[in-house]
C-alpha cells in the first residue's frame, strides 16, 4: 500500500501525548493479539483489517551516512505475528528517509517498539490510540478526509474501543447504513474493567467441542505448530482461560517450554493475562 493510499502523518518525536498514546497501546496489545489468535481459527475471516504501528530506525552506521534523514519513522505492519517476545509483520508504508526498510518487507521488532495497534471487526474499529490523538488535532473536514483515506469510520474523537461492544454484551455504538445520519447517537467510553473480566466469545463457544476433540485425540496436546507452540502455549498467549483449562484437565504439561524457551505461564505473563496465570499456577 502506497503513501497516497494510506498517508503517513508525522508528529514531533518529543510529543508527550503521542508517547502516552503509545504506552496505552502497548499496555492493551493483549486484546489485539487475542483477536489475531482467534482469527486464525475462524473458517470465515472476521477481520476487515488488523495491523500494528511500530517505531523503526536505521542502525547507527546507516544513520551517520544519512544525516538529513528522520531518526525514527512510525509505520504500519500487517500480517502480524507474535511469539511472546517479538512482533513481526509486513511493512505497508514506504519510508520517507530510512534506508534499511522498504514497503513489503517482513519486519521483526521487540515489543517495546510497538506504538499502536488496530483491528476492524464487523465495521467496528478497535484500538488506534495514536490515530485517535491525531484525529483530535484535526478539523472536522480533515478528519473526514483522514477516515476516507483509511476506508473506516473511526467514530467519535476520544473514544477508543478495545473490543467490539457485542463481546461484552453492549449494543453497537453507532447504527450502520444510510439511515445512520438521522439516528447516530454519541459513543460511550468502553468499560475496560469489564473487557478484562470477559472471555473472548470464541473461547467460550469452543470449550465443549475442544474438550471432546482432546478426549478423542489426546495426542493433539503434544503436537506443535510451525513456531513450536502446543495448543496450551497458543491459548495461554491468547489469554483463553477456557482453552487453557481444557488443556490442563486433559493432561497438558504446564511446565513444557515452547521452542522459544517460554513456558505457558511465561506466555500468559508477558501479556498480563492474570486469570490464565492463576489457572496455570494451580496446575
pLDDT value for 36? 98
Half-sphere exposure of 201 (CA within 13 A, CB side): 10
Residues paired with 89 in a beta bridge: 107
pLDDT value for 254? 97
pLDDT tens digit string along 70-85? 899 999 999 999 999 9
pLDDT value for 170? 86
Angle formed at CA 227 by CA 229 and CA 92, multiple of 5 degrees: 130
Rounded to whole angstroms, the Cα distance separating 22 from 28 reads 10
Pinpoint the alpha helices (H) of the chain.
16-39, 60-64, 129-136, 140-150, 180-183, 192-197, 201-216, 231-237, 241-249, 264-270, 274-281
CB-based contact 89:102 (threshold 8 Å)? no
- Residue 128 CB neighbour total at 10 angstroms: 25
Rounded to whole angstroms, the Cα distance separating 165 from 110 reads 30
pLDDT tens digit string along 187-239? 689 999 999 999 999 999 999 999 999 999 999 999 999 999 999 999 999 99
Instruction: Name the residue among 267, 210, 206, 209 with its Cα closest to residue 239.
Output: 267
Rounded to whole angstroms, the Cα distance separating 110 from 262 reads 15
Angle formed at CA 178 by CA 174 and CA 181, multiple of 5 degrees: 55
pLDDT value for 14? 76
Residues paired with 90 in a beta bridge: 78, 106
As given in the structure block, the three cell numbers for residue 96 are 520517507
Rounded to whole angstroms, the Cα distance separating 231 from 229 reads 7
> What is the residue whose three cell numbers read 480533515?
142
Rounded to whole angstroms, the Cα distance separating 189 from 103 reads 35
Residues in the chain with pLDDT < 50? 1-7, 175-185
Amino acid at each position: 500500500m502506497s503513501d497516497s493510499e494510506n498517508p503517513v502523518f508525522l508528529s514531533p518525536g518529543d510529543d508527550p501525548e503521542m508517547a502516552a498514546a503509545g504506552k496505552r497501546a502497548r499496555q492493551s496489545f493483549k486484546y489485539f493479539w487475542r483477536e489475531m489468535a482467534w482469527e486464525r481459527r475462524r473458517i470465515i475471516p472476521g477481520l476487515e483489517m488488523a495491523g500494528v504501528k511500530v517505531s523503526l530506525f536505521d542502525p547507527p552506521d546507516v544513520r551517520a551516512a544519512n544525516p538529513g534523514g528522520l531518526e525514527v519513522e512510525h509505520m504500519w505492519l500487517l500480517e502480524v505475528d507474535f511469539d511472546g517476545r517479538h512482533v513481526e509483520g509486513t511493512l505497508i508504508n514506504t519510508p520517507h528517509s530510512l534506508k534499511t526498510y522498504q514497503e513489503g518487507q517482513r519486519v521483526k521488532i521487540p515489543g517495546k517498539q510497538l506504538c499502536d495497534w488496530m483491528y476492524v471487526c464487523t465495521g467496528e474499529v478497535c484500538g488506534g490510540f495514536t490515530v485517535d490523538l491525531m484525529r483530535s488535532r484535526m478539523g472536522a473536514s480533515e478528519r473526514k478526509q483522514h477516515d476516507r483515506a483509511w476506508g473506516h469510520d473511526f467514530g467519535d474523537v476520544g473514544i477508543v474501543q478495545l473490543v467490539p461492544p457485542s463481546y461484552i454484551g453492549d449494543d453497537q455504538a453507532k447504527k450502520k447504513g444510510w439511515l445512520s445520519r438521522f439516528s447516530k447517537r454519541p459513543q460511550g467510553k468502553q468499560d475496560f474493567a469489564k473487557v478484562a473480566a470477559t472471555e473472548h466469545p470464541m473461547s467460550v463457544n469452543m470449550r465443549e467441542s475442544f474438550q471432546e476433540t482432546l478426549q478423542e485425540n489426546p495426542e493433539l496436546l503434544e503436537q506443535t505448530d510451525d513456531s513450536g507452540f502446543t495448543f496450551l502455549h497458543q491459548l495461554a498467549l491468547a489469554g483463553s482461560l477456557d482453552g487453557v483449562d481444557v488443556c490442563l484437565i486433559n493432561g497438558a504439561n504446564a511446565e513444557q517450554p515452547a521452542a522459544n524457551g517460554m513456558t505457558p505461564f511465561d506466555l500468559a505473563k508477558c501479556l498480563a493475562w492474570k486469570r490464565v496465570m492463576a489457572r496455570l499456577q494451580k496446575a
